[in-house]
């Protein structure tokens, strides 16, 4: 009996080890070999077309991703002022170390060609480029946020960034749904979203901004795409029943209109 238990435990351990992700780490450098801080590194699964992992390089240009074994990935790397790089990486069950070197952006007739970064940081603000994380199948803000690294949306519709709760939700810098994140994530349409800005050390009083260092106070601002700044948010379901001159209408009340002027 004891021998059978040991065999079962070893079998389960073997399955767990087989399914365990591998570590893919390395550096992103410029042509002279200097590490680039804040470079974006994305791993897109070639089979599912989804983004399995994402990282931002540290001050030495180092990144680390957790990838599935025995899979093919397209590694996408971008950095402001440099040409974006894409390279295929095939994983096994062994960890991978690799160095990526970016080339400076090409200039055509005085115009510098650069690629927009999926994530950038300006002071206390983290800026996510929505199109870098969406595939077109997303319906609401919630679906978009769940694909962004460092952001979690729980079952109650509350948003957390790096483990801290988002206290206020805004659209184009103005409170939306009185700043209620729960209504916002369920109703704001995904195809209207251009940027998601996470505002750390947020203070509503502009006079006090920069005075208090309250990293726990986090707000989120949604920037809308051109042509999507005046429209209805939410879902509407209508039903009509005709019989004996009777008409019945069913309308979902979760319908809101947004206009930046109000």
Q: Which residue has the tokens 């805004």?
A: 170
Residue 47 has pLDDT above 60, yes or no: yes
pLDDT in tens, 194-220: 999 999 888 775 444 444 445 578 999
Per-residue pLDDT tens digits for 156-174: 889 998 788 999 999 888 8
Q: How far apart are CA 39 and CA 161, in angstroms?
A: 20
Alpha-carbon gap, residue 65 to 200, rounded angstroms = 25
Contacts with 160 (C-beta within 8 Å, 6 or more apart), sequence order: 151, 152, 153, 154, 166
Among the ranges given (51-60, 86-95, 238-247), the one the predictor scored with the smallest mean pLDDT: 238-247
The CATH number assigned to the domain with range 2-112 reads: 2.60.40.1120
How far apart CA 134 and CA 138 sit, in angstroms, is 7
What SS3 state is found at 61? coil
pTM of the entire structure? 0.63
**Averaged pLDDT for residues 59-80:** 94
Determine the Cα–Cα distance for residues 165 and 160; give it in Å rounded to an integer: 4
Report which of 208, 193, 74 is spatially closest to residue 129, judged by C-alpha positions: 193
In contact, 167 and 202? CB cutoff 8 Å: yes
Model confidence pLDDT, tens digit, residues 105-146 = 765 455 544 456 788 878 788 899 999 888 889 999 999 999
Domain boundaries, the chain: 2-112, 119-234
Dist. CA 180–CA 183, nearest whole Å: 6
Q: Which CATH class is domain 119-234?
A: mainly beta
> Is the pLDDT higher at 179 or at 249?
179
């Amino acid at each position: 009996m004891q021998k059978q238990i040991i065999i079962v435990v070893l079998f389960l351990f073997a399955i767990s080890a087989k399914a365990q992700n591998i570590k893919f780490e390395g550096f992103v450098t410029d042509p002279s070999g200097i590490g680039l801080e804040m470079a974006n590194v994305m791993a897109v699964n070639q089979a599912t077309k989804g983004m399995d992992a994402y990282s931002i390089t540290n001050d030495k240009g180092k990144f680390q991703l957790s990838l599935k074994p025995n899979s093919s990935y397209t590694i996408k790397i971008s950095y402001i002022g440099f040409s974006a790089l894409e390279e295929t990486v095939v994983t096994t069950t062994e960890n991978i170390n690799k160095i990526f070197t970016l080339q400076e952006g090409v200039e055509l007739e005085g115009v510098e060609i650069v690629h927009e970064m999926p994530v950038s940081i300006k002071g206390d603000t983290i800026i996510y480029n929505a199109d870098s994380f969406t595939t077109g199948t997303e319906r609401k803000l919630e679906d978009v946020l769940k694909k962004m690294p460092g952001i979690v949306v729980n079952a109650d519709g509350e948003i957390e960034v790096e483990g801290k709760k988002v206290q206020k939700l805004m659209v184009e810098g103005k409170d939306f749904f009185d700043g209620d994140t729960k209504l916002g994530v369920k109703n704001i349409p995904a195809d209207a979203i251009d940027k998601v800005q996470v505002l750390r050390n947020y203070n509503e009083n502009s006079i006090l901004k920069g005075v208090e260092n309250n990293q726990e106070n986090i707000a989120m601002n949604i920037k809308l795409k051109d042509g999507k700044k005046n429209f209805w948010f939410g879902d509407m379901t209508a039903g009509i029943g005709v019989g004996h001159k009777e008409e019945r209408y069913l309308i979902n009340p979760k319908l809101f209109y947004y206009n930046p002027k109000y």
